[in-house]
């Protein structure tokens, strides 16, 4: 009962949220919502202990695929976004053959190379990817009405509601996976892969599974983005954005489900709203870089460790999560 009340209150807060913001802040809110999906899906991959540098490019695969399906084949936009996610997941399965011959540092570099190759292919092939200029005039989400509210998807508020719903469903699925025996097996693969293998776990299959799921949700995020912005090009998915994802995950902490989300929200608000409002336009990357360095030096377990510290004082429940973090 208490849980239901909390969920309802949170839903109301999320519904009311955009109305207190300026237009540009509402736009940022849409991107923030999509980025939460991006960083949460990234965490699923890190559960198996692998850190990829191709996640943002794979999000781009979803974006390109969804844009092309709707534009060239006339697929209905909501379906094409899902198909974009499926395409990204499928590509991840293909990429897993070369990439999972590597581990750790080599996987990191290998995934980076694979991502850059994909980006260069978009750049090189004008047909169908549009070359360096990318794809323009992507089909927008069709407007519709649910009686009490008319969805007009040129309005950021409407798109925020839609993407918040989609992202909430995706997060719920990710959370279910993590809390299931599958999630436990991901942890097992991370901490002691030989023992997991001796217990009958097919390591390659589970690594591929995590990679494919993470990529699928990143692809859905890419689709959501493409149909909102209306134009994508190879530079929309470059290393800079990947660096941001990495930073959100590490500053927030990857020990808990909410850690990366926390990192994404806190840093985005800090970067886009506080620093912008204070007039530090040019200095933003500098301050951002400084925050990265300071947090890795002085808060190596991420923002989540502060939250855990606060919650363990009141209740004993946090102990479990703290363990999961270590």
Partner 1 sequence: MLELLAQTGLNAVYAASYISLIAVGLVLIFGVMGVINFAHGELYMAGAYTVVLMYTDFQVPFFLAVAMGLIFVGCLGLAMERALFRPLRDNPLGGLVASIGFLMILQAVAAMGFGVRMEHIAPVTQAVIEFSERVRLPVARLYVIIAAVVLLSALWIFLKKTRFGWALRAAAQDPEAAALQGISIKQTARIAMFIGAGLAGIAGALTAPLVSVNPHMGHSVIITAFIVIIVGGVGSLEGAVVASVAYAIIHTFMTTFYDGVIADIVGLSLMLLVLIVKPTGLFGSADRA
Partner 2 sequence: MTQFLEVDTLTMRFGGLTAVDGLSLKVRHGEIHGLIGPNGAGKTTTFNMISGFYKPTSGEVRLRGEVISGLRMHEVARRGVVRTFQHSTLFAEMTVLENALVGTHMAFRPNIFAAIAGWDREDRRGAEARAREALEFFGLHHLAGELAGELSHGHQRALGLAVAYASHPDVMLLDEPFTGMNPEETRGMMGLMRKLREDGITILIVEHDMQAIMGLCDTITCMSFGKFLAEGGPAEIRNHPAVIEAYLGGARHVA
Binding footprint of partner 2 on the chain (CB under 8 A): 173, 176-177, 180-182, 184-185, 187-188, 191-192, 194-203, 209, 213, 323, 326
Pairwise CA distance, residues 218 & 142, whole Å: 22
Q: Binding string to partner 1 for residues 1 to 40, with x set by CB under 8 A, is what?
A: ----------------------------------------
Q: Contact between 47 and partner 1 (CB under 8 A)?
A: no
Who's near 182: CB < 8 A, 6+ residues apart?
Answer: 209
The widest CA-to-CA distance across the chain, in whole angstroms, is: 59
The helix or strand, by DSSP H or E, that contains position 145, with its residue range, turns out to be strand 144-145
Choice between 47 and 225, CB closer to partner 2: 47
Please classify residue 304 by burial: count the beta carbons closer than 10 Å to its beta carbon, then call 0-12 exposed, 13-18 middle and 19+ buried. buried
290 binds, among partner 1, partner 2, none (CB under 5 to 8 A by kind): partner 1
Who's near 94: CB < 8 A, 6+ residues apart?
Answer: none
Interface positions, 296-315, toward partner 1 (CB under 8 A): 296-297, 300
Q: Which of 7, 72, 79, 98 binds partner 1 (CB under 8 A)?
A: 98
106 binds, among partner 2, partner 1, none (CB under 5 to 8 A by kind): partner 1
Report whether 259 contacts 306 (CB < 8 A).
no
* Nearest to 162, CA basis, from 109, 223, 87, 230: 223
Interface positions, 264-283, toward partner 1 (CB under 8 A): 282-283
CB of 199 to partner 2, least distance (A): 5
Report whether 221 contacts 38 (CB < 8 A).
yes
296 binds, among partner 1, partner 2, none (CB under 5 to 8 A by kind): partner 1
Q: Which of 292, 312, 318, 325 binds partner 1 (CB under 8 A)?
A: 292
N- to C-terminal Cα distance for the chain? 32
Number of residues that bind partner 1 (CB under 8 A): 38
| Main-chain dihedrals φ then ψ at residue 255, nearest 5 degrees | -75, -25
Choice between 71 and 284, CB closer to partner 1: 284
Structure tokens at 16: 């009311």
Choice between 11 and 283, CB closer to partner 1: 283
CB of 76 to partner 2, least distance (A): 24
Q: Which of 14, 71, 116, 151 binds partner 1 (CB under 8 A)?
A: 116
CB of 253 to partner 1, least distance (A): 12
* Nearest to 303, CA basis, from 264, 257, 251: 251
Neighbouring-strand partners of residue 145: 150
| Main-chain dihedrals φ then ψ at residue 232, nearest 5 degrees | -135, 150
Please give the residue ranges that form the binding site for partner 1 (CB under 8 A): 51, 98, 101-106, 109-110, 112-114, 116-117, 120-121, 123-124, 239, 243, 246-247, 250, 282-286, 288-293, 296-297, 300
């Amino acid at each position: 009962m208490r849980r239901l009340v909390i969920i309802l209150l949170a839903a109301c807060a999320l519904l009311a949220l955009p109305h207190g913001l300026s237009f540009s802040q509402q736009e940022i809110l849409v991107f923030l919502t999509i980025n939460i999906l991006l960083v949460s899906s990234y965490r699923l991959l890190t559960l198996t202990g692998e850190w990829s540098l191709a996640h943002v490019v794979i999000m781009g695969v979803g974006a390109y695929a969804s844009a092309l399906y709707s534009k060239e084949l006339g697929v209905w936009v909501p379906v094409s976004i899902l198909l974009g996610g499926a395409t990204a997941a499928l590509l991840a399965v293909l990429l897993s053959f070369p990439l999972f011959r590597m581990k750790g540092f080599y996987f990191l570099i290998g995934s980076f190379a694979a991502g850059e190759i994909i980006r260069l292919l978009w750049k090189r092939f004008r047909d169908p990817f549009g070359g360096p200029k990318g794809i323009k005039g992507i089909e927008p989400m069709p407007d519709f009405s649910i009686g009490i509210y008319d969805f007009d998807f040129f309005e950021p508020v409407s798109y925020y509601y839609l993407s918040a719903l989609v992202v909430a469903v995706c997060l719920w699925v990710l959370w279910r996976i993590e809390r299931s025996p599958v999630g436990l097996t991901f942890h097992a693969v991370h901490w002691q892969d030989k023992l997991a293998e001796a217990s009958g776990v097919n390591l390659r299959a589970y690594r591929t599974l995590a990679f494919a799921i993470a990529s699928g949700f990143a692809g859905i995020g890419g689709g959501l983005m493409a149909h909102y912005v209306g134009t994508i090009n190879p530079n929309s998915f470059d290393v800079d954005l990947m660096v941001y994802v990495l930073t959100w995950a590490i500053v927030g902490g990857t020990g808990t489900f909410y850690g990366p989300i926390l990192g994404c929200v806190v840093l985005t608000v800090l970067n886009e709203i506080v620093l912008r409002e204070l007039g530090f336009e040019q200095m933003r990357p500098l301050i951002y870089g400084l925050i990265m360095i300071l947090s890795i030096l002085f808060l190596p377990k991420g923002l989540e460790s502060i939250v855990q510290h606060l919650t363990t004082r009141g209740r004993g429940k946090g102990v479990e999560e703290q363990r999961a973090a270590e």
